[in-house]
Structure 1
Amino acid sequence: MVGILVENKQKTDSFWKMIQKNNTLILFFILLCPFLMKGQSGPDFTILTDKAFQKLYQNPEDCIRYSQSLLISEKNIEHKIMLRKIISWAYAMQGNYVQAINTSNQKEEDGQEVKQSRFSKLFGDFNLADQYQNLGLYDQSRKIIADILTDQSLQNVSNVKVRMTLAKLYQLQAINDGVSGKYDYTLKNFDKSDRYLDYNNEENTITRQENMIFRSLSLMKNNRLYESKKQLDKVILEIESEGKYPFLTAFAYEAVSRYYFQKEEYTTAVLYLEKGFAKIEYMPYNDMKLIFYELLTKNYLALNDTEKYSYYNNLYTDLKSKLDSNKKEGIQYIVKLLEIYHKKNISYQKQSKLKQVQFIVGGILLLIIGTLVCFYYELRRGRDLKKQLIFFEKQKEIMVLAVHTKTSKTSHPKENRAQDKDIAKLSEEKEKEILEKLKEWENSRNYLSRNMSISILSAETGINPKYLSEVINSKKEKNFNGYINDLRISHVAYLLRTDPAYLNYKVSYLAEFAGFSSHGAFTNVFKSITGMSPNHYIQEIIKNKKS
């Protein structure tokens, strides 16, 4: 050990002697010092954002305060985008969807136009898909993600930020597929999400644990209960051993309660729900609380505990009304976000085209320079200067014309769109397209939402409200309200015929489930469509089953 120290001391002495003899090395060392000091001046941004992401699952209000404090001093545009997204997530967890949309889309205070990098473009697309999903617009979310993932160059990226965004995109798409009942695709997309979670930080760990819980829920819906429970036991053991994230713990217990509800072990399901709810009871996770209230309502209904059913049903109804109202307002804001999204896309495309034009112009300039060199070279050799100049000018005119032709192509789509708007009546093709979209939308069962309106249907299908109204009136032979009511009653009637559990529900619950404002309204519409009251209909089904 002493020998090593002596040897190191000798090496150090010789190093300093060499520096003293060489002034260049001293100068180099002086110039290098500021860069070395700068590299160690403060904590890495990835560490700070990782801490902000952790707070998201500990308490959303703390997360907002902490992230905003980082945002004040942050200058990097990409860092700002990521911090705003974390704040947006926190607001969404509170059920404040309007603030979530506004925050993630906040402009720079100096008002300067910011050039989009490839990452900020990708993250902006991800943000829009995420906001759509938060508002229950799953088809729109799915389409945006599908378009993003067609870019094959993203599949093998090494950039940590891009890989994390891809993991989130596959997670979102898996959830979208789960809502549509495509459980095989759901599991595949969760597996793809996990492949990108290869960076050793808490955000990756939390996202992986979320994927495990979502995966177990998908297995559960696919009646693979044993696999689902095995997955849940594994993730709960992991989450409880860490004991850091109340939201994740509550989410896991909520999933377990669904498993026991499906097995009709309602008492055990309630125990897990109460255990999970205790983790977030005094925290503003309103989006998660709504789920707990709904599940507690269903379980106590199954247990015939009228008092607790009524208590949790009131909590559920009140909170759902508030969140639905905010969500409805959020859908109006998402239209503005979509406009900005399209503007940013156009800006990004312009930047890309500008780079292409610069590349072309650079190539032309190189060609011109090469031509000039050749020209003067030929001039030295006694070629005819006048012929060369005429030839060169003609070539130059052709090149400039080619560039002008390429850059002028962008004006035609606007003319076509303007022409499209002049079409007064819907063509048969357009009517067919609208009917197909309506058929897809009907499969989503979004018509069960109490707040359903022609404007929400327009947002969910991407069809002009005027065209929607025209097609529904002419092809469905009823007005919008009649169309929605018909879908709702048909769906409830189908469930009553095929699922015995619904025969035990009260008519008031069926009315609320179907999106009606009151028991009376549901009964009147039900009778007008089926020719009998809901109670009469239920009794007829029970009689037929007995006979």
Structure 2
Amino acid sequence: MMDKIKNIRLFFYTDRILGFLCFFFYVFFASQTKNDVGILREEILDKMQYENHNVEDLIKYYSKISPNDAHILNIKFLLLKGEYEEGLNKIFLLENSAKKDKDSELFFQYQCLYGQICQMLGLTDEADKVRNNLNHNELVKATAFTDLSLDKNSFDIFKSADRLAILRSAIKNYKRTNNVVGLIQTNIWLAEMLGSDNPESKTALNSALSLIKNSDSKLYYAMLIDNYLSKVYLKHNNASAAFDLLEKYGNSATDISNMNLKTDFYRNLAISSARIGDFGNLDHINKSYFTIVEYQNAKRAVARAMLANHINKVNDGKLKSQKDLFRNIYITIFMAFICGLVVIYLSHKSKKKKAEESVAEVDAKNFVIPDKTEKRILKKLEEFENKQRYIQKNVSLKMLAQQFDTNPNYLSEIVNNHKNSNFNTYINNLRVDYIVDKIRQDPEYRKYKVSYLADECGFSSHSLFTKIFKNRMDLSPTEFLQTFNE
């Protein structure tokens, strides 16, 4: 009997130990696999700037792990190389799956890529439509897609403030993950966007120079930095210094897959060569430059026609749908008129309108709000505040009452009693408190203009924001921001 008990105990402990070991190995290898996928993705984003052949194989392999993300990276790579027609075909393939969920990260990425190629091809009206959609997208404010900064042109679709925010966010992320190549590129593009005379631009440039000096990064990154420096030198009429920086890349530039950088490089090299009088190689440089430009223009022309045709088809489809809708409406109205339903509808509508007008005329002071209703509305208000929905510009008493499934009189009375202010003052105070909290907690907000802060917290008018802010804080927004810079 004792031997049997011992065997049972031994089996029990052995089973628990094996279970623990299985769990340990699962956690360990799952973590390793996740890290390997991240490394593979970073390698693709890195090599797509300066390699052609290996990148395609890497993307093909990555597509077995993450098909949608691999598809997006492939589009980025094609646009980077100037293969606009192939890139468009890939975007069209992505369109249907992306539009299934317009709140998803995939749809956001699709819009970014679509807007980018519209801008590249000169379809400004279509690019503006995408830009307007992106400016109202919460994912932009979160600046979650830091790898956008690995392709300079992919975030040109955003407005200037969001571009800077994305770059700064990317720099913080790359510092945290020790991504040297990401830091080099983002610092150079931040410096270029801010302008060479900006103090932050100089800091970003120095960071990039320090990183390239202390790393074994590829030739591409050194060329990226020197190309930017050459533009700074040319701006200050120092063509000799610009030429000295660029001349050494004359042979290796042909292997760069980034067509925009390659074009910019040859243009700067041609300008500096002409200014210092080095005409011996100028013909060759000009030939290289114009060959790329002509090739790109031809590619753009084909892709532009292809995209315009696609847009026309989409618009024709929308027009047909609208015509079908109107036709169905007309038929329905006609049938309703014949059957006498219109009379019934109008009669019902008239009675309902009179009933609503009668309720609206009741003096707010003469009604008593049930305790259960009051608690429900207060809970809805708490949820409204916690989710910061007050920064939406279209917030109104009527709209909020509809969302709370109550009437405006109830909501107004509860705000007056529990928030000690009328509805408009209540909303405006929430907005001011929100932006004050952002300024105190996030130093980036202290750099923004007052108009941007007003728009960020939901005010439609810069002057109204200033007035409400001063009433709330006893300081104007400008004065309040200055307190952090002293």
Output the TM-score relative to the length of structure 2: 0.52
Cα distance per residue 1:268-313 (max 9 Å; x no partner): 1111122344553434444322222222222222233444333322
Q: 2:224 aligned with 1:237, yes or no?
A: no
1:256 to partner: Cα distance: 0.4
**Amino acid of the residue matched to residue 40 of structure 2?**
L
What residue is the counterpart of 1:98 in the other structure?
85
The alpha-carbon distance between structure 1 residues 264 and 139, as it changes in their structure 2 partners (threshold 3 A), is farther
> For 1:264-275, what aligned pairs fall within 5 Å after superposition?
264-275=237-248
Deviations 1:475-500 (A, max 9, x none): xxxxxxxxxxxxxxxxxxxxxxxxxx
Q: Show the 5 A alignment for 1:22-101.
A: 39=30, 42=33, 44-71=36-63, 73-74=64-65, 79-101=66-88
Distance 1:142 1:277 in 2: 38
CA–CA distance in structure 1, aligned partners of residues 198 and 172 of structure 2: 29
Q: After superposition, what is the alpha-carbon deviation per residue over 1:80-128, rounded to whole angstroms, capped at 9, x for unaligned?
A: 22212222232333222222222344469xx999954712111111221
Alignment of 1:73-472 (within 5 A): 73-74=64-65, 79-106=66-93, 115-116=100-101, 118-137=104-123, 140-141=126-127, 143-152=129-138, 155-156=141-142, 163-164=144-145, 168=149, 175=156, 186=160, 189-195=163-169, 198-199=172-173, 206-220=181-195, 224=197, 228-277=201-250, 279-335=252-308
Amino acid in the other structure paired with 1:323:
Q
Alpha-carbon separation, structure 1, partners of 2:199 and 2:167: 23
- Do the aligned partners of residues 62 and 153 (structure 1) sit closer, same or farther apart at CA in structure 2, a change above 3 Å counting? closer
Give the 3 Å change call, closer, same or farther, for CA 145–168 of structure 1 in structure 2.
farther
**Aligned residue identity for 1:84:** H
- How much has 1:260 moved relative to structure 2? 0.7
Aligned equivalent of 1:20, options 3, 11, 14 = 11
2:104 aligned partner, one-letter code? R
What is the alpha-carbon distance in structure 2 between the residues aligned to residue 307 and residue 17 of structure 1? 91
The residue type paired with residue 130 of structure 2 is: I
In structure 2, how many angstroms separate the alpha carbons of the residues matched to 1:113 and 1:138?
22
The Cα of 1:186 is off from its aligned counterpart by 3.5
Q: 1:217 to 1:29 in 2, by over 3 A?
A: closer
- 2: CA distance, partners of 1:230 / 1:196: 16
> Is contact 1:97–1:327 with CA below 8 Å preserved after alignment?
yes
Counterpart contact for 1:54–1:202, Cα < 8 Å = no
Q: What is the SS of the residue equivalent to 1:243?
A: coil
1:187, distance to aligned residue in structure 2 (A): 6.4
Residue 129 (structure 1) shift? 1.9
Distance 1:17 1:195 in 2: 58
Q: Which amino acid aligns with 1:191?
A: A
Q: Measured at CA, do residues 41 and 114 of structure 1 come closer, stay the same or move farther in structure 2, by a change above 3 Å?
A: farther
Secondary structure at the counterpart of residue 244 of structure 1: coil
Retained in 2: the 8 A contact 1:270–1:296?
yes
With a CA cutoff of 8 Å and minimum separation of 6, indicate the structure with the bigger relative contact order.
1
Seen in structure 2, the aligned counterparts of structure 1 residues 27 and 275 have a Cα distance that, compared at 3 Å, is closer
Partner of 2:425: none
Q: CA deviation at 1:266?
A: 0.8
Structure 1 CA distance for aligned equivalents of residues 151 and 51 of structure 2: 25
Q: CA deviation at 1:137?
A: 4.7
Gaps of 5+ in 1: 1-15, 157-161, 178-184, 346-547
Aligned with 2:82: secondary structure? Answer: coil
Structure 2: unaligned runs, 5 residues or longer: 1-6, 319-486
Assess if the C-alpha contact under 8 Å between 1:190 and 1:211 holds in 2: no
CA distance in 2, matches of 1:250, 1:324: 24
Q: For the residues of structure 1 that align with 2:210 and 2:139, how far apart are their CA atoms?
A: 37
1: CA distance, partners of 2:201 / 2:182: 18
In the alignment, is the contact (CA less than 8 A) between 2:45 and 2:150 conserved in 1?
no
Q: Quote the Cα distance in structure 1 between the aligned partners of 2:105 and 2:98.
A: 17
How has the CA–CA distance of structure 1 residues 28 and 305 changed in structure 2, closer, same or farther, with 3 Å as cutoff? closer
Q: Using the TM superposition, give the Cα deviation of residue 207 of structure 1 relative to its aligned residue in structure 2, in angstroms.
A: 4.5
- Whether the aligned pair in 2 keeps the contact of 1:135 and 1:331 (CA below 8 Å) is yes
Q: Distance in 2 between matches of 1:127 and 1:188?
A: 16
User: How far, CA to CA, are the matches of 1:234 and 1:337 in structure 2?
Assistant: 44
Shift of 1:175: 3.9
Q: Deviations over 1:128-171 (max 9, x none)?
A: 12222443556644542342231347635xxxxx7126965997
Is the Cα contact below 8 Å between 1:277 and 1:292 reproduced in 2? no
